[in-house]
Structure 1
Amino acid sequence: MSRLRTPFLLLVIPLAFFAAFFLAPLATVVIASLTSSNGDTGLTFDHYVRVLADRYHWDVILVTFRIGLYTTIACLLLGYPLAWYLVRIVRWRTWRRVCVIMLVVPLFTSNIVRSFGWMVLLGRNGLVNDGLMGMGLVDRPVRFLGTELGILIGMVYVLLPFVVLAVGNALACVDTSLEHASSDLGARPGATFMHVTLPLTLPGIMSGAIMVFTLAVSAYVTPALLSGGRISVLSMLIFQQYSSVFDFHYGGALSVVLLIFTMAMVGLAARVGTLKGSTL
């Protein structure tokens, strides 16, 4: 009897924690989004109609997911070569550990601090503009703050380590003898990468991409600070409804819409990744 009780307790405690701190808040938000703010009883979809029937909200949704998509693509393009360098090129273990530490340490710093740092760097008289003008690439300061480009730069900096760690772990698990066998059979390095290495690291690519995308579309601090209020994303609207307007019903509808759209995009990406992996 005691042998059965121990696994049962080990299972009940995580499930209880999951129910108390995830399912219960999620149910509260969903119920609030389906009830009227006037105190009337019964379910209503008025808040969802208000969100989905307004062009402004669709523009905000488009901006939110465009920034999330661009951030994911940029992190993959930058993160894969960096992960390759750490796993395949660096042979000195001490230097590899130093690189990993430098990659992970910023994650222990608040996003607020890092975003304020980028506000200084990307300002009109910041280091980035001074460098561009000093190299003669631009004649006048480039406006980064208050633009999607500025938000994208900050988001890539914050989320890049997730892709590097995920892809690096996948690369470390690849059996290099398969790549050597491909080369021995006459395949060029590019063909070996496309048909051997890339398919084997696709799970790491997908996991990193999903983490970055979900964190990017739900981010608040970095877009709020680097946009200067000129660009709105869904997380900013949700925060405004909960903290300033105190309309929990409308804010709940915005939250559920963000959750549904994010889950749909992640599911589509996972499906495409599966089909691509089978094709490769």
Structure 2
Amino acid sequence: MKYSKRGTEFRWNATLLTPTFVVYLAVFVIPVAAVVIQSLISDNHFSTQWYEQVLGEDYYWLVLGRSIWLSFLAAAISIIVGYSLAYISDRLFVSRTVKKLVLIAVFTPLFTSAVVRAFGWQIVLGSDGIINQILVGFGLVEAPLRLMFNYLGVVVGLVQFLVPFAFLTSSASLQSHDLSLVRASRDLGGSPWSTFWRITVPLSRTALLASFSINFALAISSYVVPAVLGGGRVKVMAALVYETFSIDLNWQLGSAIAVFVFIPVMVVLFSLEVLGRRTAIPTRSDQS
């Protein structure tokens, strides 16, 4: 009997992947399938009634467009902030103590409940909050600014929630870069700014797209931040799904709304994945 190394490796890999597949099936495939089936049922019969209702009302399209726009904006800002912090920590600070302090500052909010963080922002952004007290106290404004219960408050809360994820992805990407390319650029007369835009950023392109995908998915599915900092005035799809399920008790319509959100989100994430693969640049880890 001949020994098949390839067959053994395949069986071993399949064994290792089985737990992951089971978990993926249990927490993603089955729930999504249940939601889709629920959305196609009306009076115990197959029906597209709920999809016709969702697709036929401008209100759902308006909320979807607002949710996508806010998620794009929050994801983009969080990547700029997270990548900047990662670059400063990895390239400009040599001291391990400073790097640890940056890590603590970035990741400490993750150990706090999202509800607590959202209400904490009310202390900062409220009419009697810290920012308005400073602005009024120094005479920069005559009356407190409205920094909450609008798009600004929601975006600020989402960005603060998303920055750690952008920082983690960016930091891992920066550490995998071939620094000889950076040194070559500087030796050839490239300025720090030119080297950053022409060498560092292109090398991070795939990681930035991956980070954007993660942050966009997290932002568009966020419920707590828009509910607390939006004050019910900034309606997003996550809140609409929750209200339809929990308040209206209409599970079929809620499922149809959830699928209505799921499809464009998956299209965006798939497009970013394809773009990331096509624009990928080999890093030091790929070449070794």
Instruction: Give TM-score, length-normalised by structure 1.
Output: 0.91
Q: What SS does the aligned partner of 2:247 have? A: helix
**Cα shift readout 1:177-219 (whole Å, capped 9, x = no counterpart):** 1111122223333332222111111122112111111100110
The runs of 4+ residues in structure 1 deviating greater than 6 Å are none
1:220 corresponding residue in structure 2: 223
1:45 aligns with one of 48, 53, 59: 48
Please, which moves more after superposition, 8-17 or 197-206? 8-17
2:66 aligns with one of 52, 63, 66: 63
**Cα shift readout 1:82-108 (whole Å, capped 9, x = no counterpart):** 111110111111221122122112112
Gaps of 5+ in 1: none
> Counterpart of 1:74 in structure 2: which amino acid?
I
> Counterpart of 1:208 in structure 2: which amino acid?
S
Instruction: Give TM-score, length-normalised by structure 2.
Output: 0.88
1:191 corresponding residue in structure 2: 194
1:80 corresponding residue in structure 2: 83
Q: What SS does the aligned partner of 2:41 have? A: coil
1:231 corresponding residue in structure 2: 234
Gaps of 5+ in 2: 282-288
2:185 aligns with one of 182, 185, 189: 182
Q: What SS does the aligned partner of 1:29 have? A: helix
Cα 1:266/1:137, change in 2 over 3 Å: farther
Cα 1:199/1:255, change in 2 over 3 Å: same
1:12 corresponding residue in structure 2: 18
**Cα shift readout 1:67-121 (whole Å, capped 9, x = no counterpart):** 1011012112222221111101111112211221221121121100100111222
Q: How does 1:88-103 map to 2 (within 5 A)?
A: 88-103=91-106
Deviation for aligned residue 1:272 = 4.4
Residues paired across the two proteins, number: 274
Q: Tell me how far apart the structure 2 counterparts of residues 15 and 274 of structure 1 sit (CA, whole Å).
A: 24
2:237 is equivalent to residue 200 of structure 1: no
Please, which moves more after superposition, 211-220 or 139-148? 139-148
2:248 is equivalent to residue 242 of structure 1: no
Cα 1:77/1:222, change in 2 over 3 Å: same
> Counterpart of 1:180 in structure 2: which amino acid?
R
Deviation for aligned residue 1:174 = 1.2
Q: Tell me how far apart the structure 2 counterparts of residues 74 and 184 of structure 1 sit (CA, whole Å).
A: 33
**Cα shift readout 1:32-53 (whole Å, capped 9, x = no counterpart):** 11111x22x22x2221121121
Q: How does 1:124-273 map to 2 (within 5 A)?
A: 124-273=127-276
1:123 aligns with one of 99, 123, 126: 126
1:32 corresponding residue in structure 2: 38
- What is the percentage of aligned positions where both structures have the same residue? 34
Q: How does 1:269-280 map to 2 (within 5 A)?
A: 269-273=272-276
1:22 corresponding residue in structure 2: 28
Q: Tell me how far apart the structure 1 counterparts of residues 107 and 66 of structure 2 sit (CA, whole Å).
A: 29
Cα 1:120/1:250, change in 2 over 3 Å: same
Deviation for aligned residue 1:264 = 1.3
Q: Give the root-mean-square deviation of aligned CA atoms.
A: 2.0
Conservation of the 8 A alpha-carbon contact between 2:66 and 2:236 = yes
2:117 aligns with one of 114, 117, 132: 114
Cα 1:223/1:116, change in 2 over 3 Å: same
